[in-house]
């Protein structure tokens, strides 16, 4: 069986068409399937649309979250209910085209547990592409891994992969990154990325920056390693300066007692100390968030799913 997991947020108008195209594609493959639609507290009341679809077709399983939790928590809500041997994860706005599902599946059957859809030319707004590139560069730098911004969530994953991802306990979920951590035989196929068929991206610039900051803090301790390194460098240079000034002192070369240099160094180190403390504070905040141990999402209603709490 193939499960297709789709987080739904602000793409109500194209929803019926999307499900229809996915069904055609899956029928052509000829395996059993389920389509799991996760309504991420969509303000357009997509749930109404989803209920309509699910009432006519038992293969359409639906989950309504209690509020908007974000794309990745919504994906996880779907993954936890997915029963298929293979799981496809995709966006709801046609940017990930359903027509590639059979190609993904075919590639997977050639002996891969993960097949990513590699977006050859991204059809996102300029600013988004730029920030995405910058973000993946920073992430590669800070985690010392190679990340490719052309790979998103779209792909097909074996049950083993999904179960491994579900074992990961971090409170901050980013499916794309977690699925790259688990290993398994991985490949990708090239796909065309689509334009959004209706509406605008749910990710504003502010949301993207917040997401990026969270990812860097949750997935890397390198910023802290850097500050340690920076601290040592500054200590070392001041040690060199102490020796130099001591030499000047014993050879009676000090004439004017420095006032500017004292004020400047106080400002410099004051700023640095506050910055480093702030950075540590951010990590402490993340630890607090982790110890709260809150659920990643809350389910309000389900349709065509037998055991809502399993
Ligand atoms: N999405 C979601 N919750 C959110 C924001 C987005 O479930 O709070 C889903 C949305 O339904 C879509 C996917 O995440 O399927 C990607 O969102 P969007 O198209 O807005 O972002 P972009 O394509 O610009 O990354
Ligand atoms: Mg989109």
Ligand 1 midpoint to CA 237 (Å): 49
What is the share, in percent, of the chain residues with pLDDT greater than 90? Answer: 38
Mutate to test the pocket of ligand 1, among 8, 9, 66, 74 (most ligand atoms within 8 A of CB): 9
Q: Is residue 191 part of a domain?
A: yes
What is the rounded CA–CA span in Å between residue 146 and residue 10?
A: 32
What is the share, in percent, of the chain residues with pLDDT greater than 70? Answer: 98
Residues 88 and 233 in one domain: no
Over residues 245-267, the mean pLDDT reads 79
| Full residue range of the structural domain in which residue 6 is found | 2-219+295-303
pLDDT for the residue 310: 46
Which ligand is closest in space to the CA of residue 125?
1
Q: How confident is the model at residue 307 (pLDDT cuts 50, 70, 90)?
A: low
**Contacts with 36 (C-beta within 8 Å, 6 or more apart), sequence order:** 3, 4, 5, 6, 61, 62, 63, 78, 81, 82
Taking Cα atoms as reference points, which of 123, 134, 82, 97 lies closest to residue 21? 97
Which residues have CB under 6 Å of ligand 1? Answer: 7-9, 11, 40, 68, 70-71, 74, 91-93, 95, 124, 196, 201-203
Q: Is residue 134 part of a domain?
A: yes
What is the rounded CA–CA span in Å between residue 73 and residue 269?
A: 41
Residues 27 and 137 in one domain: yes
Residue located nearest, by CA, to atom 10 of ligand 1: 9
Return the CATH number at 52: 3.90.550.10
pLDDT at 308 over 70: no
Per residue in 77-126, pLDDT (tens digit) is 999 999 999 999 999 988 889 999 999 999 999 999 999 999 887 777 77
Residues 103 and 189 in one domain: yes
Over residues 133-156, the mean pLDDT reads 83
Q: According to the per-residue pLDDT averaged within each range, which of 62-71, 170-179, 229-238 is highest?
A: 62-71
Residues 30 and 112 in one domain: yes
Mutate to test the pocket of ligand 1, among 70, 93, 126, 150 (most ligand atoms within 8 A of CB): 93
Taking Cα atoms as reference points, which of 178, 169, 217 lies closest to residue 89? 178
If DSSP codes are grouped into helix, strand and coil, which group holds residue 134? helix
Over residues 20-31, the mean pLDDT reads 91
- Region of poorest pLDDT, from 153-157, 206-210, 291-295: 206-210
Higher per-residue confidence, 159 vs 283:
159
Residues 107 and 247 in one domain: no
- Give the side-chain half-sphere CA count within 13 A for 122: 17
Residues 82 and 16 in one domain: yes
pLDDT for the residue 231: 82
Q: Is residue 48 part of a domain?
A: yes
Q: What is the mean pLDDT of the chain?
A: 87
Higher per-residue confidence, 114 vs 223:
114
* Two structure tokens written together for 46: 């997509």
pLDDT at 200 over 90: no
Ligand 2 midpoint to CA 118 (Å): 15
Q: Is residue 310 part of a domain?
A: no
Q: How confident is the model at residue 309 (pLDDT cuts 50, 70, 90)?
A: low
Q: What are phi and psi of 148, to 5 degrees?
A: -115, 120
Residue located nearest, by CA, to atom 1 of ligand 1: 71
* Two structure tokens written together for 297: 């999402």
Ligand 1 closest atom vs CA 7:
7
Ligand 2 midpoint to CA 234 (Å): 45
Per residue in 240-253, pLDDT (tens digit) is 888 888 888 888 88
Ligand 1 closest atom vs CA 70:
8
Q: According to the per-residue pLDDT averaged within each range, which of 12-21, 83-92, 288-297 is highest?
A: 83-92
Ligand 1 midpoint to CA 91 (Å): 7
pLDDT for the residue 129: 81
């Amino acid at each position: 069986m193939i499960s297709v997991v789709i987080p739904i947020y602000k793409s109500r108008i194209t929803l019926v068409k999307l499900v229809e195209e996915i069904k055609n594609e899956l029928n052509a493959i000829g395996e059993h399937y389920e389509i799991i639609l996760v309504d991420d507290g969509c303000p357009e009341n997509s749930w109404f649309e989803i209920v309509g679809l699910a009432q006519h077709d038992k293969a359409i399983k639906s989950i309504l979250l209690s509020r908007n939790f974000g794309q990745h928590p919504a994906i996880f809500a779907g993954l936890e209910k997915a029963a298929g041997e293979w799981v496809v994860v995709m966006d709801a706005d046609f940017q990930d085209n359903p027509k590639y599902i059979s190609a993904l599946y075919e590639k997977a059957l050639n002996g891969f547990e993960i097949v990513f859809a590699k977006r050859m030319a991204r059809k996102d707004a300029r600013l988004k592409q730029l920030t995405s590139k910058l973000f993946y560069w920073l992430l590669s730098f800070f985690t010392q891994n190679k990340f490719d911004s052309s790979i998103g969530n779209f792909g097909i994953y074996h049950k083993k992969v999904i179960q491994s991802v579900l074992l990961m306990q971090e409170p901050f979920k980013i499916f794309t990154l977690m699925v790259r951590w688990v290993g398994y035989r991985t490949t990708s196929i090239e796909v065309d990325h689509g334009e959004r068929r209706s509406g605008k991206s749910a990710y504003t610039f502010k949301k993207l920056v917040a997401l990026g900051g969270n990812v860097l803090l949750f997935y890397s301790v390198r910023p802290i390693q850097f500050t340690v390194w920076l601290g040592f460098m500054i200590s070392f240079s001041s040690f060199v300066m102490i020796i130099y000034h001591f030499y000047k002192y014993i050879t009676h070369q000090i004439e004017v007692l420095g006032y500017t240099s004292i004020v400047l160094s106080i400002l410099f180190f004051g700023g640095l100390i506050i910055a480093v403390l702030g950075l540590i504070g951010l990590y402490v905040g993340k630890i607090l968030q982790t110890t709260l141990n809150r659920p990643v999402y809350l389910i309000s209603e389900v349709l065509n799913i037998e055991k809502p709490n399993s």
